[in-house]
Amino acid sequence: MRRGRPALWVKWGLPHGINAGDAIFTLANLAMLRLEEVSNPMVTLHAARVLHQTSLLLTQGQYLDLEYEKRDEISLDDYQPMIERKTAALLSASTKLGPLVAGAGDRKTAYYGEFGRSLGLAFQIQDDLLGIWGDQAKTGKSNQSDLITGKKSLPVLFGLAQNGEFARRWRRGSIQPDELDRLADQLETEGAQRYAQERASEFTQEALTALQRAEPVGEAGQALHSLTLQLLGRED
């Protein structure tokens, strides 16, 4: 299921799923080259290179994610290398391509890239927090909690590193819906929620600092600032 609908491969079979993915991947690359119609060849090549390099990072992130699923113990240090590639790289490319095409210059473009990267890291950790303490995850009947799916999110890795009651329970195997409340509370008591909130705040602050350095102007600049606070669930 993706966004509440069956994935393409479920509906039409794996071979068509893989093939359609390749086709859409190619269409994205072709769309990027159409930049040439409104920009110059050098900028178009640069943008295409950014997209390809980002795609490569995404496959590295996916590789780490698949490996982490198999390994019993992942340390806190393993977390960032994975979300840098799986989440932050794509947001960084998105925020870098605009200034690149607008001819904003290398320094400004790098700040925008840094803005997207930090925003991506903050956003992923926020998503991890919601996966355990969000409204959807908290309702006992839900199977959406990351504690049930076994996702090695940042709060879980923090909890495992504490080697306390949470870690002992996690290592005994699958967590059941009726344990959710107690385990989420236990994880909170051990400091995992606070730790993740602090990391998310740090990255949010880094994102806002990078955005300030990029000196966005006018309505669009204000929109980026609002978007950041909105994505992270904070007031503007």
- The residues that touch a copy of itself, with contacts defined as CB under 8 A, are 14-16, 18-23, 25-27, 29-30, 33, 36, 41-42, 44-45, 48-49, 52-53, 55-56, 58-60, 62-63, 66
Amino acid identity of residue 23, one-letter, is A
Q: Which is nearer to a copy of itself, 49 or 107 (CB)?
A: 49
Measured in whole angstroms, the distance separating CA 58 from the mean position of its chain's CA atoms is: 11
Handedness of CA 209, 225, 192, 82 (dihedral sign): negative
CB 65 within 8 A of CB 82: yes
How far apart are alpha carbons 2 and 137 in whole angstroms? 17
Give me the least distance between CB of 43 and a copy of itself, in Å please: 9
Q: How far apart are CA 204 and CA 123, in angstroms?
A: 8
| Residue 126: CB atoms within 10 Å | 22
Nearer to a copy of itself, 59 or 176 (CB): 59
Q: Which is nearer to a copy of itself, 27 or 102 (CB)?
A: 27
CB of 69 to a copy of itself, least distance (A): 9
Distance (Å) of CA 110 to CA 55, 96, 97, 167, 215: 18, 7, 10, 40, 12
- Pick the closer one to a copy of itself by CB: 36 or 202: 36
Cβ closest to a copy of itself, residue 55 vs residue 142: 55
For the bound state, the minimum distance from the C-beta of residue 132 to a copy of itself, rounded and expressed in Å, comes to: 25
Q: How far is the CB of 168 from a copy of itself (least distance, A)?
A: 30
Tell the smallest beta-carbon distance from residue 81 to a copy of itself (Å).
Answer: 16
